[in-house]
Amino acid sequence: MLYRENGQFKTTYRSDLQIFPILQDRIAIGLLLAAVFLIVPLVASDYLIRAILIPFLILSLAALGLNILVGYCGQISLGTGAFMAVGAYAAYNFLVRIDGMPLVVALLLGGFCSMVVGVLFGIPSLRIKGLYLAVATLAAQFFTDWAFLRISWFTNNSPSGSVSVAGLNVLGMPIESPVSKYLLCLSFVAVFALLAKNLVRGAIGREWMAMRDMDVAAAVIGIRPVYAKLTAFAVSSFIVGVAGALWAFIHLGAWEPAAFNIDRSFQLLFMVIIGGLGSIMGAFFGAAFIVILPLLLDQIPYWFGIPISTALASHLTFMIFGALIVFFLIVEPHGLAKLWSIGKQKLRLWPFPH
């Protein structure tokens, strides 16, 4: 009875087009933002922030960018790790080669460079699609792995091939403690999630979804395939590039090209599929499933006092994790976001059956 729309009348176009038209949703989102911005930094331990929350936020941002391309526009990509690497190394070069470069500007410029590379590798999408496009984007992964490993200019002539950043600050405030890093990542995620939500609700989002559902019919009704597909690649690569820069600067601190290998691309693709294609919320559900669930499975034997070796616990975690992925894809192929949506719809009607 608490999740009802009775008496919530929409008397203007502005109120009818709200992101959260139901009052209870607006209150819940406000409380959630207050909790993650104000309460979590005060009560969470350094380990929780550093090892769980920061990776979860950054990978959620990367999955959000990938979901725009795969979920909303229907263009399969296996080069997400490459675009993350471009954002990370571009931001690093802007930071070390330009004196006084602000951290936020360097991160955004890294995303811009990733956007340019993403558009270049997105050009084949104008002629090919499906698995052929996946192979074309996979070429971006192999190319960037080679380039960042062999061309020393990208690593500022580092003899070991690895690079590191230190002394980060935003507006004179140092970004060294886990709380400051968490708040920086959370701010980026909140802003980009809002921008992405508004994009997919607008004209460009409808063009992306029309191309996803039937590109020939979309072209017939006047949608330009070149514009729709390349803008999806541009927006997706920009967000993924910023996420890659945050992953390198905030989470890792020191990294090498192996940090953005093909395993990262597949991990993000699994997040999008499990969380829910074509859903902003699905990016967060998928990241939580991939990042948090294995950690919980690792700890369950110790919580119940089951005497097993560390190696056996690790193998059991992989087995259970894989079985859960298969189970969720069978039960709900549209992802965890669809289950969340069904639950909300049932709450709006409860206790009535229909």
Mean of the per-residue pLDDT values of the chain? 86
| Rounded CA separation 351/1 (Å) | 7
The per-residue pLDDT for range 52-107, each reduced to its tens digit, is 999 999 999 999 999 999 989 888 888 899 999 999 999 999 998 888 889 999 99
What integer pLDDT is reported at residue 226 of this predicted model? 86
How far apart (Å, rounded) are the C-alpha atoms in residues 213 and 199?
18
User: What residue has token string 């959000």?
Assistant: 64
Residues of the chain under the 50 pLDDT cut: none
Closest CA to 290 of 43, 19, 66: 66
CA–CA gap between residue 137 and residue 133 (Å, rounded): 6
Which backbone phi and psi does 147 adopt, to 5 degrees? -65, -45
Report the pLDDT value the prediction gives residue 152, as an integer from 0 to 100.
Answer: 85
Of 15, 18, 28, nearest to 347 (Cα)?
28
Bin 77: left if φ > 0, else alpha if -120 < ψ < 50, else beta: beta
Confidence (pTM): 0.91
Q: Are 146 and 154 in contact (CB under 8 A)?
A: no
pLDDT at position 1 = 58
Residue with tokens 């886990």: 178
Cα separation of 188 and 45, whole Å? 21
Cα separation of 84 and 88, whole Å?
A: 6
**Residue type present at position 100:** G
